[in-house]
Amino acid sequence: MSVSRLYVEADLVTGGEAPLGEAQLHYLRHVMRRPDGAPLRLFNGRDGEWRGTFEARGKRSAVALVAERLREQQPEPDVWLCFAPVKRARIDYIAEKATELGAALLQPVLTRHTMVERVNLERLRDNAIEAAEQTGRLTVPEVRQPVELATLLAAWPTGRRLLMCDETGGGPPIAEALAGLDHAGRAAPWAILVGPEGGFAEPELALLRRTPDVMAVGLGTRILRADTAALAALACWQALVGDWRHPTPRLAVDYRTAKARG
Ligand code: SAM
């Protein structure tokens, strides 16, 4: 039987209990038809991965009984994805794929040409949780409130490198830029920034070019959609700076995840 892997908020200790949400209960009981005692894998972003079992408590609530730790919590690449929000289906796609690609934080950025006003953060977070459950990572990316580009840069954390995808040819090819990093560059915290469908406005490009820690790079001669560019840049970063440089054992468990809540 495939094993359902769930993100829970509770601390994970042997003999402990982790309350399950309504959507998790519905999915386990009515979609996956899991019986009481069904095996689970649990993680909370802090305590590693644990073995557990499903236990219903009446019709409308259930818990995961926590048994033993299977994996220690591991450090994960510190790379943020800052992106101008795009329309609904594609922003969900960005959240899901960026989670699979190991983004530590998702930061929607409002720019002059951003065409989307409101971002459904709860849905983004649900997509990120479901992708994290499926992909076997031990954390869920933090999803932040949208912020204006100038505000983001004014409060930019010192020392975090910002890889800005510049479709106007303002930087070297991404592979050349990242392959040429020294040890400090590879060890630094990073972020990737991608503009909106309409691209960055001139004043935004000028602001970015005079912001310390910003590195403009190109993603080839073709103009990529914002979601394509975000994920392509994240993949290049993982391959040249992140954890795709290290051979990693394939996770042995075939996960069937709990569907998004709600
Ligand atoms: N201004 C163009 C447009 O209106 O179609 C390009 C915008 S592009 C769809 C959205 C964002 O993806 C850009 O702001 C940039 O961050 C990134 N991007 C797309 N193609 C790129 C490329 N070839 N090199 C670097 N970045 C690219």
- Site of tokens 């990737």: 192
Q: How far apart are CA 132 and CA 138, in angstroms?
A: 7
Q: Which two tokens stand for residue 161?
A: 């490198």
pLDDT at 120 over 90: yes
In the predicted model, what is the mean pLDDT of residues 82-87?
Answer: 91
**Mean pLDDT over each residue of the chain, to the nearest integer:** 92
Compute the C-alpha angle 229/243/238, nearest 5°: 15
Do residues 110 and 148 lie in contact, with contact meaning Cβ atoms separated by under 8 Å? yes
In the predicted model, what is the mean pLDDT of residues 204-229?
Answer: 96
φ, ψ (nearest 5 deg) of residue 133:
-60, -45
Phi-psi region of 119 (alpha: psi -120 to 50; beta: other; left: phi over 0): beta
Residues shown for the chain? 262
Nearest CA to ligand 1 atom 13: 195
Ligand 1 near 167 CB (within 6 A): yes
Ligand 1 near 220 CB (within 6 A): yes
Q: Which two tokens stand for residue 59?
A: 């019709």
Pocket test of ligand 1: the residue of 115, 224, 228 to mutate, having most ligand atoms within 8 Å of its CB, is 224
In the predicted model, what is the mean pLDDT of residues 202-210?
Answer: 96
Domain span(s) for CATH 3.40.1280.10 in the chain: 79-245
Please name the helix (run of DSSP H) or strand (run of DSSP E) that holds residue 133, with its range, or none: helix 121-135
Question: Which CATH number fits the domain 4-71, given the four candidates 2.40.240.20, 2.60.40.2470, 1.10.1660.10, 3.40.50.300?
Answer: 2.40.240.20
Query: Which amino acid, one-letter code, is at 14?
Result: T
- pLDDT band at 258, cuts 50/70/90? very low
Looking at residue 1, its pLDDT comes to 62
Domain span(s) for CATH 2.40.240.20 in the chain: 4-71
Tell me which DSSP letter residue 245 carries.
G
* Atom of ligand 1 lying closest to residue 222 CA: 23
* Atom of ligand 1 lying closest to residue 164 CA: 16
143-176 per-position pLDDT tens digit: 999 999 999 999 999 999 999 999 998 899 999 9
27-45 per-position pLDDT tens digit: 999 999 999 999 999 999 9
Looking at residue 252, its pLDDT comes to 54
Q: How far apart are CA 16 and CA 239, in angstroms?
A: 38
State in words which class domain 79-245 has.
Answer: alpha beta
Ligand 1 near 173 CB (within 6 A): no
